[in-house]
Amino acid sequence: MDKKAGPVFREMLARAVLAIIGIPGLCFVGWLGGWFWYALVAAIMIVALGEYYSACYGRGWRPFAGLAYLWALILLYPALRIPDRPWSLAGPILLAATFTILIRALATNRRAYAGSMASTIFGLLYIAMPMAFLIYLRYIDLPAFTGRADVWSFTTRMGTVLLVVAPVWASDTGAFLAGGLLGRHKLTPVLSPHKTVEGAIGGLASTIAGTLLLGSLWLGLPVIHAVGLGLTIGVASQLGDLIESALKRDLGLKDFGTIFGPHGGVLDRFDGLLLALPSAYLYLWLLTHAHALVAGP
C-alpha cells in the first residue's frame, strides 16, 4: 500500500495545484458571460482541435485544420446568440462544414484523401460540437427551475456549468485514487492497461457525490435527479476517457499535448467532458422541459 500511496498522492498534489490556478479563472469568465465566455470556450476548443490534428499529421493524414477552426468557431456562435434553441442551426452548420471540407479536399493533391477528409470532419464532431455545450449549459437556469430565484447571480449563470464540469473532474480524481490505491482488476487491458474496475467504481461514486453536493445542496435539485444526473455524467465521462484512450492507441501517442506538462494536453484533461457535456445537457433539458413535452403545444 505504501508503494502505491506515494505516487498517488504526489499526483493528487499536482492536480490540486492545477485546479487552484484554473477553476477561479474559469468561474470568473463564466460569470461575465457573453463574448468573454465564448472566447474562453473557443480558445479551449481550438487548442484541443490543434492537438488532435497534429496527431493526425503524425499518422500520415493531412486534415484541413484551418478550415476546421473556422467552422468550429461558427458552430459556437448559435450557442451564444440563440441559447434557447441552439441546436436549430447546429445540424445545418455541420452539414455545410462537411460539404466545404469535401470540396476543399478535391482541390488538393494529397494522397490520403479519405483519411484527411474523415479526420477533419471527425474533429468537428468529436471536439467542437461537444465543446459548444459549455455555452448551452450556461443558459439552463436550474435555480429558477427549482424555485431558488433569489440566489446570487453567479449561481444562476454558472451553477449548471459547474454542476456538470466539477463532477466530471471529481470522477477523474476518484477513479485515479481508487484505482491507484485499491485497483486489482483490469477494466480494459487492451485500450488502457492502467484502468481498473475499482477505479471505475470510485469514479462513478465520486461523480454522484459531486452532483448530490452541488445539485441538491446548492441548486435545489431533487435527490433522485441529482443521482440520475450523476450516473449519466459518470458513465459518459468514463466512456469519453476510454474513447480518447482508443484514439491515442491508434495514433501511437501517450498524450495529445504537453501544455499541462506531465498531465498532458487540453484534450487529455477534457476527454471525459466531451461525452459528459451533451449527455448532461440532454438530461437537464428533458428535466426542465418535461412539463411542456407532456402538455404539448
Cβ-based burial of 220 (10 A; exposed 0-12, middle 13-18, buried ≥19): middle
Contact 49, 65 (CB under 8 A): yes
Q: Worst-scoring range by mean pLDDT, 6-10, 21-25, 253-257, 276-280? A: 6-10
Residue 189 sits in the same domain as residue 225: yes
Question: Rounded distance, CA 4 to CA 21, Å?
Answer: 27
Q: How many other CB atoms are found less than 10 A from the CB of residue 182?
A: 16
What's the rounded Cα separation, in Å, for the pair 46 and 124?
10
Model confidence band, residue 297 (pLDDT cutoffs 50, 70, 90): very low
Same domain for 162 and 101, yes or no, is no
Q: Which of 91, 121, 139 is the endpoint of a domain? A: 139
- 90-126: burial string, b at 16+ Cβ within 10 Å, e else: beebbeebbeebeeebeeeeeeeeebbbbbbbebbeb
pLDDT of residue 292: 46
- What is the Cα–Cα distance from 297 to 275, expressed in whole angstroms? 31
Which band of pLDDT confidence, cut at 50, 70 and 90, is reported for residue 10? low
**pTM of the full predicted structure?**
0.87
Indicate whether 16 pLDDT > 70: no
Does residue 123 sit in the same domain as residue 150? no
Q: Are residues 147 and 134 both part of a single domain?
A: no
Instruction: Give per-residue pLDDT as tens, 227-280.
Output: 999 999 999 999 998 999 888 888 888 878 777 766 678 888 888 999 999 999
- Cα–Cα distance measured from residue 157 to residue 140, given in angstroms and rounded to the nearest whole number: 8
Q: Could you tell me the pLDDT band of residue 283, with boundaries at 50, 70 and 90?
A: very high
Among 105, 139, 173, which residue terminates a domain? 139
Same domain, 82 and 119: yes
CB neighbour list of residue 117: distance below 8 Å, 6 or more residues apart: 101, 102, 105
Are residues 19 and 166 located together in one domain of the fold? yes
Judged on CB neighbours under 10 Å (0-12, 13-18, 19+), 286 is: exposed
Selected residue with higher pLDDT from 290 and 158: 158
**What's the pLDDT at 282?**
92
- Identify whether residues 135 and 147 lie together within a single domain: no
Residues 223, 279 within the same domain:
yes
Average confidence score pLDDT of the chain: 84
The answer to whether residues 69 and 121 belong to one domain is: yes
**Given a cut of 50, is residue 293 above it in pLDDT?**
no
Helix axis angle, 65-81 to 129-138, nearest 10°: 20
Q: What pLDDT does residue 97 have?
A: 94
Question: What sign has the CA pseudo-torsion 21, 22, 24, 29?
Answer: positive
Q: Is residue 265 classed as helix, strand or coil in its secondary structure?
A: coil
Q: Tell me: do 92 and 118 sit in the same domain.
A: yes
Max avg pLDDT among 29-33, 193-197, 246-250: 29-33
Q: Residue 59: pLDDT band by 50, 70, 90 thresholds? A: confident
Q: Contact 44/266 with Cβ under 8 angstroms? A: yes
Are 16 and 55 part of one and the same domain? no
pLDDT at 226 over 80: yes
95 and 204 part of one domain: no
pLDDT value for 295? 38
Q: What is the pLDDT, as a whole number, of residue 86?
A: 65
Give how many domains the chain has, as a whole number.
Answer: 2
What domain range includes position 254?
Answer: 1-32+143-297
Report pLDDT for 215: 93
Dihedral sign, Cα of residue 220, residue 221, residue 226, residue 229: negative
